[in-house]
Copies of this chain bind each other. A is one copy, B any other.
Amino acid sequence: MRARVYVSLKKSVLDPQGKTIHHSLQNIGFRKITEVRQGKFFEIDFASELTREEVRAEVEKIAEDVLTNPVIEEFSYQIE
C-alpha cells in the first residue's frame, strides 16, 4: 500500500522560495499568477500485510514525528 504525505509551510509562515519562484515566473512573462507556494511530498510504500487502518496510524505518526516541523509546517496525506 502506498501513502503520499504532503508537507508545506503553514499559511501564516512566509514562503521565500515560493516568492522567488513567483518573481522569476513574472520576469519571464507569466503575469497571471497571484501566488506560488512550495512544499515537499513523500511517497511511502508499506508492506502488503498491513491493513489500511494500520497504514493510516503509521503515516500519521511518521508525518508528525519525523517529516514535519510542527512549529512552521503542516501536513496532509492520501492512502492509495
Taking Cβ atoms with an 8 Å cutoff, the residues of A that contact B are 6, 8, 18, 21, 24-25, 28, 30, 32-47, 49-50, 54, 58, 61-62, 65-67
Nearest-neighbour CB distance to chain B for A68, whole angstroms, equals 12
B39–A58 CB distance below 8 A? no
Number of copies: 2
Question: Is there contact, CB below 8 Å, between A37 and B43?
Answer: yes
Whether B32 pairs with A58 at a CB distance below 8 angstroms is yes
User: Given A30-B58, A58-B30, are A40 and B43 also a contact pair (CB < 8 Å)?
Assistant: no
A/B interface sample: 15 pairs, CB < 8 A: A18-B42, A18-B43, A21-B42, A25-B62, A25-B66, A28-B65, A30-B58, A30-B61, A32-B49, A33-B45, A34-B45, A35-B43, A36-B44, A36-B45, A38-B41
